[in-house]
Amino acid sequence: MKRLLFSFAYLMVANISLAQNEFDVLRYSNLDFYGEARFNAMGGSFGALGANMSGLSINPGGLGVYKSSDFSFTPSFHYNYTESELNGNLVSDGKLNFHFSNIGLVGNFRAGSGWESISLAIGYNRTSNYNTSISVKSSTDSSALGSYVNELNANGGIIEDDIFGAFPFSSSLAYQTFLVNPLSGNPLQYDHVFTNSTNLSQSTSYETRGGSGEMYFALGGNYNDKLYLGALIGIPTVRYVYDRNYTETSENSDTLTEFDSFTIHDHVQTTGSGVNFKLGMIYKATNWFRLGAAFHTPTLYSLADEYDSSINVERKDGTTFSDKSPHGSFNYLVSTPYRFIGSASIIMGNRGVINIDYEIIDYSSARLTQDSEYSSNANFSIENRNIKDNFTATNNLRVGTELRFDPFRVRFGYRLQGNPLSSNFSEDNSATIYSGGIGIKENGYYFDIAYSLKNFNSQTIVDANQNVFATTSLKDHYITFTLGFRF
pLDDT, tens digit (0-9, with 9 covering 90-100), for 183-200:
998 999 999 999 999 999
Average pLDDT for the chain? 93
Beta strand residue intervals within 186-299, DSSP E? 186-192, 200-223, 227-249, 259-286, 289-296
Cβ atoms 43, 438 nearer than 8 A: no
SS3 273: strand
**DSSP assignment of 42-84:** TTT--TTT---TTGGGT-GGGGGG--S-EEEEEEEEEEEEEEE
- Lowest-confidence region among 3-12, 27-36, 216-225, 344-353: 3-12
Q: How far apart are the first and last CA of the chain?
A: 58
pLDDT at position 467, please?
85
Q: For the chain, list the domains and their CATH numbers.
A: 2-141+204-426 (2.40.160.60), 144-193 (no CATH)
Give me the half-sphere count of Cα atoms (radius 13 Å) on the Cβ side of residue 267: 13
- Angle between the N-to-C axes of helices 381-390 and 22-29, in degrees from 0 to 180, rounded to the nearest 10: 60
Question: Is this prediction's pTM over 0.85?
Answer: yes
pLDDT at position 379, please?
83
With bands split at pLDDT 50, 70 and 90, how would you rate the model's confidence at 9? very low
pLDDT at position 12, please?
36
Phi, psi of 478 (to 5 degrees): -135, 120
In terms of DSSP bridges, do strands 352-362 and 393-405 run parallel, antiparallel, or are they unpaired?
A: antiparallel
**DSSP assignment of 427-438:** ----EEEEEEEE
Q: Is residue 13 pLDDT above 70, yes or no?
A: no
Which phi-psi region, left, alpha or beta, contains residue 316 (left: φ > 0; alpha: ψ -120 to 50)?
A: alpha
Phi, psi of 295 (to 5 degrees): -130, 130
Q: Mean per-residue pLDDT for 190-217?
A: 97
Q: Is residue 318 pLDDT above 90, yes or no?
A: yes
How far is 126 from 446, CA to CA, in rounded Å? Answer: 20
CA-wise closest residue to 324 among 152, 207, 174, 194:
174
Cβ atoms 429, 419 nearer than 8 A: yes
Q: In this structure, how many other beta carbons lie within 10 angstroms of the beta carbon of residue 431?
A: 20
Q: In this structure, how many other beta carbons lie within 10 angstroms of the beta carbon of residue 424?
A: 13
H or E, element range at 398: strand 393-405
Q: Which residues, other chains included, contact 257 with Cβ-Cβ below 8 Å and sequence gap of 6+?
A: 193, 194, 196, 197, 250, 316
CA-wise closest residue to 139 among 463, 471, 472:
463
* pLDDT tens digits along 445-455: 999 999 999 99
Q: Mean per-residue pLDDT for 253-263?
A: 96
Cβ atoms 451, 418 nearer than 8 A: no
Q: Which residues, other chains included, contact 122 with Cβ-Cβ below 8 Å and sequence gap of 6+?
A: 104, 105, 215, 216, 217, 218
